[in-house]
Chains A and B, each alone.
Chain A
Amino acid sequence: MSRKNDIQKNKETMLGRMKTKAGVAFFVAIIIAVILIIRVVAINVTSGEEYSKIVLNHQATTSKTITGKRGEIRDRNGTILAYSKKVYNLIIDPNRMLSEDGKYKGDTIEALVSNFDIKREDIEDKLNKKPSSKYEKMLTNLEESQIEPFLKLEEENKEKDSEDETKKNIAGVWFEDSFIRSYPFNSLACDAIGFASVVNGGEIGLEIKYDNELTGVDGVSYTYIDENMEMEKVVKEPVDGNNIITTLDYGVQNILEKYIKEYNKKKPSANTAVIAMDPNSGEILGMASYPFFDLNNPRDLTGVYKPEELKKMNEDQRTDTLYALWSNFCTSRVYEPGSTFKSITVASALEAAKAKDGDRFSCSGSKYVEGYDVGCWRIDRGGHGELDLEEALADSCNVALMDIGLSLGAETMVKYQSMFGFGNKTGIDLPGEERGIIYDPDNMTDIDVATNSFGQSINVNMIQMVAAYSSLINGGNYYQPHMVKAITDSKGNVVKTINPSVVRRTVTKETSDTIRRYLESGVEQYAVQYSKVEGYSMGGKTATAQKIPRKDKKWLVSVMSFAPVDNPKILLYVLIDEPDGTTGGSGDGMDSQTLTKAIMTELLPYLTVSRTDDKDVVMPEKEEEENPDGGVETPDNAEEYDYEKEEEQEIEDYNTREETTTETETSVEDQTDEANNDEDEKDIQDEEDEEE
């Protein structure tokens, strides 16, 4: 009994102790509660302001970007060359589609399958895998006409009474606006226009140069919660990009490309580049750089290469090939211009009063400069003999030009070259222009001056050439070459007009008149006659430049021509890089002339250049037909030097002496290639036969 009492007593004691302990526990709980309250207050005091701001930002809960439409690119007459087309992406909202016990699911899938090229399984797969998603892109780039039937169906069913048995419950489908870039003429002016991608915007050409203008300002639609916790929707409309009115003329461009393609079909070249410029404004009317590519599918090489060739390429090669294809020869490639450059030297001499009309020169076939015999193309026939300045340019005499060049001296020559814009970017509104290379007069020796005088050991780009020539023939105004005439907003209001701007004056009117006369003589009587279009007065100059390394025997032939002579309306520069290059044959200067003639024959009437049918056309004498490009002929008795057909070859002697190895200037010339020379002569003979 006492034990039982003890136990009871012990239990009582323990209960009493536990009461105390429970009190302690409660006391601790109060302390913890106070700590927690202090913590809440502390958060508010220390970070309240910052956090309030962050939360305020959350008020704009959802936002959706509305893409602004990219501007159009048009030609000078308004023909659309590039535009953005509105398309739609089909978006499904599985969450909504499956809501309300799936009452929408069946009808909506049915409607989708019957109106779009979409598989039932694909939709169900999405619904199963992402049932709570609100955004699943199912189809892209749908035309408006493709989505119309569905929208109509949806609209009709919305109006129906919910009791109506035929009512289809469609929900959870919407269309997202999108744009795709479209080029209606595919490859037309591909290098100049360039293309744009969704991700980067403009990629090359005008598309990237004017990317800021063309790109619209994206709008935004967002919902936010107002003070009364109501959802408010605000839409900020996008601003469409500006349109670019280029100086290009669709007709001109079309003519250029037609004949380039025609020529390359017969005789594929590495590159064929042509620029047509209005010499009185610097506006580019046409610009083409073969090979072409489809702007709507710029990464597709199948149009350019054969399938088996494509198969051989690895990824890097493909990329390199694409970049080469996309590069614009007219602005991004530099080369030695050759004889077309002689006009620049003559004009410089006239300006510097180191030569005047009627000056006489004597050509014995070669000239001895700094220990080297630099030849003229007529060396095998003992040179030109006595000739005046006009003949020197028109018949492309290297010896006379070297005399002129040396009389100018390095300093003056380079000064004029710079004035004509060589060695510097013209600033044409195209990306990736190369500046070319001219000499520093301090490092220039006589042999450099001599070779420079006929367009060798100097690097230029095509735009520099046409811009310089424009000033030569238009009376001396060096216009900024440009591609864009005006920028308008999306509604067509002109935002900016780009007027022709004279950068500087290069030559006097007298010099310009003289040069035009000389170049006309070249077409009428001398080497350029194969470019002549009957019934029009034309001036021009050819060049046949041998590419570096010289031993490869690859050529770059070109013709600069303009019409009419008195008041030039059009300047055309045709350049063929490695004519017949793919077959490994040698260069043929004739090709650039026949191509020039073909283009000019259609271009001049198109541009309504006035005809001069009454004018007598004096056919040149036969002997001058032999070497139409004015290059150096190979002498049979070449001992000291190996004269190739090409005049540029002399530079190698100089290089050998200097032992320099800069890429643009140096080549190690191989020894006399008799076979090749024979072949060249045979070619010329063939041409003679044709003429007869």
Chain B
Amino acid sequence: MVSTQSQVSKFKKPKVKKVAGTRTRDVFSFDYSFLFIVIFIIAFGLIMIYSASEYSSQQDFGNTWGYFRKQLFSVIIGAGAMALAFFINYRVYNRGRVPWIIFIVSLISMFALFSPLGITINGARRWLDLKVTTLQPAEFVKIGVIILTASLICLSTAKFVRFKKIFRIWVFTGIIPAAIVYLVSSNLSSAIIVVLISLLMTFVAYSGYKPYVFLIAIGIVIALAAVMYANSADPDSGSFRLNRIAVWLHPEDYAETTGYQTVQSLYAIGSGGFFGKGLGRSMQKLSFIPEAQNDMIFAVICEELGIFGAILVVSLFIFLLWRILVIARRAPDRFGMLICMGVFFHIAIQVFLNIAVATNLIPNTGVTLPFISYGGSSILFLMYEMGMVLNVSRQIKEQ
């Protein structure tokens, strides 16, 4: 497949757009495997949303396809977004003040939550009401962060980027927007994702490993300290975050309260067996797992499709990441590569965090499974990112 596109791109010239024939070829010269795997995952996600939301749809819409229909609608919009990104030359994002504009607009959209457009659902102010649909500006911020981080890194012309500079970029494009996301919408998981995307992008750009190994070591120490503290502290007196850790360590002790979602998720995963109960036959989705079509959809997949389903899902994402990696490594320039790696990390972080939460490897934090969990804004921006990666893949030159 790679060779096919290489053959096509052989004919590509800087000003091909003016030639009708080459332009047609140009449109079709992209990574088909990548597009195929994206479509496959989205289709699989739709099926799983239908299955997982069947019961809650019945409750909330009076029919079994309520959530499915809404998600399908989002996917169609997302396809449009993907097509748009597909046709926008990725270099545009790095031109002049464009990365700054995107970044700042995305942050402004966060503050728009304070305006009358902001809606609060279940006590969390995270959505913007755009009349036609609702949007989570935090998803927009993720794209803004990817673009600005890539752009700032590309400013460097030195042989080795100094860590001080890299660190400043991370603070500016990771910590600050994450703080805004967290303070405005109390959305810890989105904030963590923003910090990590930016951090891992700087990791790719930096020449060495030491500071990152050091960071990981600090992270492990802090995690251990938190665990020890949570174990010794009285669970009732602890703060909300500490309580989360206590629930994580002993979810069964909180099975009726804060640990309910985790415990029900584990029941679902554990009861699946190797091949699962069969598609659509999850028992846990019947109101036991809260919002089964959302954060905990992986548990439903494990229950219905078993370990086999889990391997399938993880493999699909690994394949997707591999295709992004291939495109990134062949990208014509650093910006294209960093855009791809930003998307790569965005997907990888969310997939791993989501599955780790569902299997109780880490404390419960609401992260959606990309393309599969229910949620319009998530799929919309993700598909735009896919379009960006596809655009990069169009511009790969034969080496």
Q: Counting CB contacts under 8 A, is A40 at the interface?
A: yes
A7 and B321: CB pair below 8 A? Answer: no
Given A26-B321, A41-B307, are A55 and B200 also a contact pair (CB < 8 Å)?
no
- Residue pairs across A and B with Cβ atoms less than 8 A apart, 23 shown, are A11-B157, A11-B333, A14-B159, A14-B205, A15-B337, A21-B205, A23-B329, A26-B325, A29-B318, A33-B317, A35-B361, A36-B352, A36-B359, A40-B269, A40-B302, A40-B310, A44-B270, A51-B266, A51-B270, A54-B267, A55-B283, A58-B284, A61-B286
Within 8-44 of A, Cβ neighbours of B (below 8 Å) are at 10-11, 13-15, 17-19, 21-23, 25-26, 29-30, 32-33, 35-37, 39-41, 43-44
The 10 A-B pairs of least Cβ separation, nearest first, read A51-B270, A52-B271, A55-B271, A40-B310, A21-B204, A7-B157, A51-B267, A39-B359, A10-B159, A47-B270
Inside 8 A of A61's CB, which chain B residues have their CB? Answer: 286-287
Given A10-B157, A61-B286, are A32 and B270 also a contact pair (CB < 8 Å)?
no
Interface of B (DSSP majority class):
helix
Q: Counting CB contacts under 8 A, is A229 at the interface?
A: yes
A59 and B269: CB pair below 8 A? Answer: no
Within 199-217 of B, Cβ neighbours of A (below 8 Å) are at 200, 203-207
In the assembled complex, the CB of A367 is this many whole angstroms from the nearest CB of chain B, namely: 76
B334 and A11: CB pair below 8 A? Answer: yes
Q: Which of B273, B281, B283, B321 counts the most A-chain CB atoms under 10 A from its CB?
A: B283
B271 and A30: CB pair below 8 A? Answer: no
Given A13-B159, A14-B159, A41-B307, are A58 and B283 also a contact pair (CB < 8 Å)?
yes
Inside 8 A of A54's CB, which chain B residues have their CB? Answer: 267, 271
Inside 8 A of A50's CB, which chain B residues have their CB? Answer: 270
In the bound assembly, the distance between CA atoms of A59 and B286 in angstroms comes to 9
Given A15-B334, A55-B267, A55-B284, are A40 and B307 also a contact pair (CB < 8 Å)?
yes
- Interface range on chain A (Cβ under 8 Å from partner): 35 or more
Inside 8 A of B302's CB, which chain A residues have their CB? Answer: 40
Q: Counting CB contacts under 8 A, is A48 at the interface?
A: yes
Q: Counting CB contacts under 8 A, is B247 at the interface?
A: no
In the assembled complex, the CB of A156 is this many whole angstroms from the nearest CB of chain B, namely: 24
| Pick from A10, A22, A41, A44: contact of B328, CB under 8 Å | A22
B205 and A229: CB pair below 8 A? Answer: no
In the bound assembly, the distance between CA atoms of A33 and B352 in angstroms comes to 7
Inside 8 A of B355's CB, which chain A residues have their CB? Answer: 36
Inside 8 A of A39's CB, which chain B residues have their CB? Answer: 356, 359, 361
Q: Which of A30, A39, A55, A59 counts the most B-chain CB atoms under 10 A from its CB?
A: A55
B205 and A18: CB pair below 8 A? Answer: yes
Given A55-B283, A58-B286, are A23 and B337 also a contact pair (CB < 8 Å)?
no
B356 and A36: CB pair below 8 A? Answer: yes
In the assembled complex, the CB of A30 is this many whole angstroms from the nearest CB of chain B, namely: 6
Q: Counting CB contacts under 8 A, is B311 at the interface?
A: yes
In the assembled complex, the CB of A103 is this many whole angstroms from the nearest CB of chain B, namely: 12
| Pick from B62, B207, B314: contact of A100, CB under 8 Å | B62
Q: Interface with A: B30-38, B133-141, B341-349, which one?
A: B341-349
A32 and B352: CB pair below 8 A? Answer: yes
Q: Counting CB contacts under 8 A, is A225 at the interface?
A: yes
B337 and A37: CB pair below 8 A? Answer: no
In the bound assembly, the distance between CA atoms of A7 and B359 in angstroms comes to 48
In the assembled complex, the CB of A104 is this many whole angstroms from the nearest CB of chain B, namely: 12
Q: Counting CB contacts under 8 A, is A99 at the interface?
A: yes
Give 10 new A-B contacts, CB below 8 A, not counting A25-B344, A29-B348, A44-B273: A14-B161, A19-B329, A22-B329, A25-B345, A30-B318, A33-B314, A44-B269, A48-B271, A55-B283, A58-B283
In the bound assembly, the distance between CA atoms of A30 and B351 in angstroms comes to 12
Inside 8 A of B288's CB, which chain A residues have their CB? Answer: 58
Which residue in chain A gives the minimum CB-CB distance to B345?
A25
Inside 8 A of B307's CB, which chain A residues have their CB? Answer: 37, 40-41, 44
A21 and B310: CB pair below 8 A? Answer: no
Q: Mark A residues whose CB is within 8 Å of B.
A: 7, 10-11, 13-15, 17-19, 21-23, 25-26, 29-30, 32-33, 35-37, 39-41, 43-44, 47-48, 50-52, 54-56, 58-59, 61, 99-100, 225, 229
Given A13-B159, A14-B159, are A225 and B272 also a contact pair (CB < 8 Å)?
no
Q: Counting CB contacts under 8 A, is B181 at the interface?
A: no
In the assembled complex, the CB of B9 is this many whole angstroms from the nearest CB of chain A, namely: 18
Q: Counting CB contacts under 8 A, is B260 at the interface?
A: no
A21 and B286: CB pair below 8 A? Answer: no
Total residue contacts A-B, CB cutoff 8 A: 134
Which residue in chain A gives the minimum CB-CB distance to B322?
A26
Q: Counting CB contacts under 8 A, is B158 at the interface?
A: yes
B321 and A29: CB pair below 8 A? Answer: yes
In the assembled complex, the CB of B189 is this many whole angstroms from the nearest CB of chain A, namely: 17
In the bound assembly, the distance between CA atoms of A455 and B314 in angstroms comes to 93
In the bound assembly, the distance between CA atoms of A52 and B274 in angstroms comes to 13
A47 and B283: CB pair below 8 A? Answer: no
Q: Counting CB contacts under 8 A, is B156 at the interface?
A: yes
Q: Counting CB contacts under 8 A, is B49 at the interface?
A: no
Within 276-324 of B, Cβ neighbours of A (below 8 Å) are at 280-281, 283-284, 286-288, 302-303, 306-307, 310-311, 314, 317-318, 321-322
Given A11-B157, A22-B328, A61-B286, are A48 and B273 also a contact pair (CB < 8 Å)?
yes
Inside 8 A of A19's CB, which chain B residues have their CB? Answer: 328-329, 337
Given A25-B344, A26-B322, A36-B356, are A43 and B270 also a contact pair (CB < 8 Å)?
yes
| Pick from A21, A40, A51, A99: contact of B271, CB under 8 Å | A51
| Pick from B281, B314, B338, B341: contact of A37, CB under 8 Å | B314
Inside 8 A of B328's CB, which chain A residues have their CB? Answer: 19, 22
In the bound assembly, the distance between CA atoms of A41 and B306 in angstroms comes to 9
In the bound assembly, the distance between CA atoms of A11 and B322 in angstroms comes to 24
Inside 8 A of A21's CB, which chain B residues have their CB? Answer: 203-206
In the bound assembly, the distance between CA atoms of A403 and B158 in angstroms comes to 130
In the bound assembly, the distance between CA atoms of A225 and B348 in angstroms comes to 37
Q: Counting CB contacts under 8 A, is B148 at the interface?
A: no
In the bound assembly, the distance between CA atoms of A10 and B153 in angstroms comes to 13
Q: Counting CB contacts under 8 A, is B107 at the interface?
A: no
Q: Counting CB contacts under 8 A, is B268 at the interface?
A: yes
Which residue in chain B gives the minimum CB-CB distance to A52?
B271
A14 and B334: CB pair below 8 A? Answer: yes
Given A33-B317, A36-B355, A43-B359, are A25 and B200 also a contact pair (CB < 8 Å)?
yes
In the bound assembly, the distance between CA atoms of A604 and B230 in angstroms comes to 82
Given A11-B334, A229-B280, are A36 and B345 also a contact pair (CB < 8 Å)?
no
A37 and B311: CB pair below 8 A? Answer: yes
In the assembled complex, the CB of B328 is this many whole angstroms from the nearest CB of chain A, namely: 5
Q: Which of A36, A41, A61, A225 counts the most B-chain CB atoms under 10 A from its CB?
A: A36
In the bound assembly, the distance between CA atoms of A623 and B158 in angstroms comes to 138
In the assembled complex, the CB of B176 is this many whole angstroms from the nearest CB of chain A, namely: 23
Within 326-374 of B, Cβ neighbours of A (below 8 Å) are at 328-329, 333-334, 337-338, 341, 344-345, 348, 352, 355-356, 359, 361
In the bound assembly, the distance between CA atoms of A43 and B268 in angstroms comes to 10
Inside 8 A of A11's CB, which chain B residues have their CB? Answer: 157, 333-334
In the assembled complex, the CB of A94 is this many whole angstroms from the nearest CB of chain B, namely: 13
In the assembled complex, the CB of A356 is this many whole angstroms from the nearest CB of chain B, namely: 79
Which residue in chain A gives the minimum CB-CB distance to B338?
A18
Q: Which of A11, A40, A44 counts the most B-chain CB atoms under 10 A from its CB?
A: A40
A55 and B333: CB pair below 8 A? Answer: no
Inside 8 A of B321's CB, which chain A residues have their CB? Answer: 26, 29
| Pick from A14, A36, A56, A59: contact of B156, CB under 8 Å | A14
Which residue in chain B gives the minimum CB-CB distance to A10?
B159
Inside 8 A of B161's CB, which chain A residues have their CB? Answer: 14
In the bound assembly, the distance between CA atoms of A498 and B344 in angstroms comes to 84
A33 and B270: CB pair below 8 A? Answer: no
Inside 8 A of A14's CB, which chain B residues have their CB? Answer: 156, 159, 161, 205, 207, 334
| Pick from A35, A44, A51, A56: contact of B274, CB under 8 Å | A44
Interface string of B98-135 (1 = CB under 8 A from A): 00000000000000000000000000000000000000
Inside 8 A of A30's CB, which chain B residues have their CB? Answer: 318
In the bound assembly, the distance between CA atoms of A21 and B199 in angstroms comes to 13
In the bound assembly, the distance between CA atoms of A13 and B158 in angstroms comes to 10
In the assembled complex, the CB of B358 is this many whole angstroms from the nearest CB of chain A, namely: 9
